[in-house]
Structures are given as structure tokens and as C-alpha cells.
Amino acid sequence: MSGPAAGARRVVLATRNAHKVGELRAVLEPLLPGVEVLGVDAFDDVPEVAETGVTFEENALLKARAVAVATGVVAVADDSGIAVDVLGGSPGVFSARWAGRHGDDAANLELLLAQVADVPVQHRSGAFVCAAAVATPAGEEHVVRGELRGRITTAAAGGGGFGYDPIFVPAGSQRTLAEHSAEEKNAISHRGRAFGALAPVLAAVLDGRPIHEATGSEPLV
């Protein structure tokens, strides 16, 4: 592995998605002052991680473990998606490839809207879900979950955000997430909530304390 030297006050985000790197930096940096937040592209020879888990938590841990080992740096990862109640929680972990090709946001939105086209507005509820994980090169790990409830719209609106943001209206709002500013979104989003909960654990790890001491639970590994 080559890239930035490992250090006690840096973490690497286990993603190559530039939108997600920017969003997570904006969430984490105010919570972890003085900590350098790097994207995985700052390192050479980090392998792609197959998301073979059947839950958001499993996939987040798979990515965090692999990137921590490959880089020698404390790694954080998330797996997130949209869960539509009338579809039994789908797309769920398949959100990014719901239409068949990974990361094709336009096709994913079009397919999901078509699948709920005949569903009355009162039954278009769902949630954005995020599992956020931290893993150390020594093999310690922890995962938390954040959710944002809301409803699916009948048409896309807004030019901000990414993914399913243009068709999701958070509970208590009349605007889609894509119509929120980045600051507004980060304050309420599933990722903001998950990484807000993860930040104290991550801070403890960077201060040299074991994860299980920071969480009050036994180690997962």
C-alpha cells in the first residue's frame, strides 16, 4: 500500500463516490476537529470491496474492515439506501443498482417511481437508512444505524444531493431532500444521524482507547 502515511489523527472513508466523500467530510469534520478525513482514492492499491451482505450493517462492516487492513488507517464506511414500505423495504441494500446498473441514479429513480405510480400518497411512506461502521487495522469495529422517515413523491424535484434525494420528502417537510441545502440535509439526514452517533466512538479510537471501552459493549471480534 502507498499513499498518505498512517497517523493517529486521520481516518479514511471507504468509498470512491465523490459526492459521498464530500458529504461525509462535511458531517465529520465539525464533530472531529483536527482530524484529517481522506477518501480511499488518496491511497494506492486499495481493492474494491464486494458488498455481499444482506443488511446495511453487514456491508458497512465489510467495507470498513477491508479498507482499514489495506491502508493501515482507521476506516469508516457506510451502506445506505432507501426502503419503501409498500415494497416491503425494497430497494434496500440494492438501492444503488435497483435498475440493474450500479450508480445509474436516473434509471433507479425512474424505475422506483414506476413501481409506486399507482400507490396513493398516504401509502408512499419509507425511509432513508444508513449503517455507519468504524474499523481499525487491529481488527476492532463498531456499527450504528441512522434513519430518516418520509415519503416518495410522484415526480423528481430539486437539483441538489444525489441518489434518490429528488424523490424523497422528509417527514415534516414539503420539499425533497434535493431541494434542501447541503447544511439542511446534513442536519437531518440518515447519514448525518448515523455518523453523528459514530463520531464519539471514532474520536475515542483516535485518542487511543479501545472501541469496546467507548461503547460500553464487548468487542465484535
Residues with active-site annotation: 79
Which residue's C-alpha cell is 425533497? 176
How many angstroms separate the CA atoms of 105 and 124, rounded?
20
Q: What is the DSSP letter of 44?
A: B
Q: What is the DSSP letter of 180?
A: S
Looking at the DSSP bridge assignments, the partners of residue 148 are 128
How many angstroms separate the CA atoms of 205 and 198, rounded?
11
199, three cell numbers: 463520531
How many angstroms separate the CA atoms of 52 and 79, rounded?
11
Give the full edge-to-edge strand order of the sheet including 10-13. Answer: 36-39, 10-13, 75-84, 125-135, 141-152, 168-170
